[in-house]
Amino acid sequence: MDLLKIKDYASSIDAQLVLIDQSRSGNDPNKKTVLVYGHLDVQPAAKEGPVIAWIHAISVLQKKKVPIPVNLKFVFECMEESGSQGLEPALQHHKDSFLTNVDMTCISDNYWLGKNKPCLTYGLRGLCYYFVEISCAKQDLHSGTYGGSVPEAMNDMVWILSQLIEKDGTIKIPHIYGTVAPLTEEEKKTYEDIDFCLETYQNDIAAHGLLKPTKAEILMNRWRFPSLSIHGIEGAFSGSGAKTVIPSKVIGKFSIRLVPNMTPEVVDKLVLDYLNDLWAKRGSPNHFHPFAGHSGMPWLADYKDENFRAGARAMKRVFGVDPDYTREGGSIPITLAFQVIAIRNMYIDFFCRKHFVVSFFQELTGRSVMLLPIGACDDMAHSQNEKLDRSNYIKGTKTLAAYLLELAG
């Protein structure tokens, strides 16, 4: 670490942050300034990772006496695995000092789409979460005594939830597809060339079927079209075995993944209007209260900008192939990670976290943010036997060094 000088790591607001200016090159106004984000906390302990790869990349360039052609700034966070608590105020604090003059940001914290071909990630879907509350009485009722007497909340609930999606996954909310950016023939073609095996994808999760038959359609459904998932019902009987309760108050939960050009404001209105229309059509005497929960905008970068072009040239240098340009449907491509979190009863949406970091850097710097993953899709993030293949690590380190060189190219 002697090659780097820790510039600012003191005030209480920075307790979880390490902000580093590359010391040797200083802040040369004739060079571009690249911001690198990474996080130092792990879950569970991983000895190597993209942050160390950055350090190695710089170390190698220095040993080989290759001048680093850009100004480098690092933001290393220590609370990423705890929801990036404190990151926003800490970075806001440095908005006009450390974060000024940043030309581009690189975040190496996601994964390749597959196991063989490198990729650059330029998009994440957004999210709108919804709650539908229906109540029929002040307390749970016994189905023997009240079955046949009372319009049951669960009966209304399953009907409402059954009106959200077609069998093929099409969202039934009127006008929702009108908010989605039109698909051009040019964009459509990009999905056909991506290295992605539909069969492996399906087999990995032992899914009994997929909603679309072709690779391009599935990638588009994951990345550039919205999807609606019904997550569950709070307040109904959810244990094992049999219980003859009539639940008095149930809360249905579903969410929609947003893509450009959808915004939570517009989607909220479409969804809540539709739910209220359905309820009017239902004509139930029960109490009905639909409401929107948290939301996040989709993120989409221009993968033809100089940041991405440099990343692509670096990958071509190291791997000998042009990278694929990928998006992510949410945040974490490894579902196991999600499950670990679920087990810990931390119902945090990974999406929100990574999405937050990406959008936040883009907003604070006003410049391009690129996701440059070096790990493969089977690294089992946060799960048992988490790993980073040696070849990925070495080539990844080379890629990061090459990226810095290419940025000046």
The residues that are catalytic are 41, 80
Instruction: Please give the Cα distance from 169 to 210 (Å, whole number).
Output: 10
Site for its own copies in 32-91 (CB under 8 A): none
Site for its own copies in 292-311 (CB under 8 A): 293-294
Per-residue interface string for the shown chain with its own copies, residues 333-372, x marking contact by CB under 8 A = x-xx-xx--x--x-x-xxx---------------------
**363: Cβ–Cβ under 8 A, 6 or more apart, which residues?**
none
Q: Kindly report the CA angle at 66 between 64 and 72, in degrees rounded to 5? A: 120
Site for its own copies in 204-243 (CB under 8 A): 205-212, 218, 221-222, 225-243
- Residue 61, both tokens: 């360039």
Of 282 and 316, which CB lies nearer to its own copies in the complex structure? Answer: 282
Q: How far is the CB of 18 from its own copies (least distance, A)?
A: 29
Q: How far is the CB of 143 from its own copies (least distance, A)?
A: 4
End-to-end CA distance of the chain: 27
Q: In the set 29, 144, 182, 320, which binds its own copies (CB under 8 A)?
A: 144
**Residue 110 sits in the site that holds its own copies (CB under 8 A):** no
Residues in a beta bridge with 36: 74, 106
**Residue 255 sits in the site that holds its own copies (CB under 8 A):** yes
User: HSE (CB half, 13 Å, CA atoms) of 121?
Assistant: 29
Q: How far is the CB of 142 from its own copies (least distance, A)?
A: 4
Stretch that binds its own copies, among 55-63, 167-175, 181-189, 360-368 (CB under 8 A): 167-175
Instruction: Please give the Cα distance from 357 to 334 (Å, whole number).
Output: 18
Q: In the set 46, 52, 60, 137, which binds its own copies (CB under 8 A)?
A: 137
The answer to whether the CB of 20 falls within 8 A of the CB of 76 is yes
Stretch that binds its own copies, among 3-11, 38-46, 89-97, 325-333 (CB under 8 A): 325-333
Site for its own copies in 267-286 (CB under 8 A): 282-286
- Residue 299, both tokens: 């993120």
DSSP letter assigned to residue 165? B
Of 237 and 319, which CB lies nearer to its own copies in the complex structure? Answer: 237
CA distances from 34 to 7, 102, 390, 402 (A): 16, 6, 26, 13
Residues in a beta bridge with 371: 107, 121
**Residue 159 sits in the site that holds its own copies (CB under 8 A):** yes
**Residue 320 sits in the site that holds its own copies (CB under 8 A):** no
Q: How far is the CB of 398 from its own copies (least distance, A)?
A: 28
Instruction: Please give the Cα distance from 264 to 337 (Å, whole number).
Output: 26
Q: In the set 23, 62, 85, 145, which binds its own copies (CB under 8 A)?
A: 145
**Residue 19 sits in the site that holds its own copies (CB under 8 A):** no
Q: What residue spans of 163-248 are helical by DSSP H? A: 185-192, 198-204, 215-223
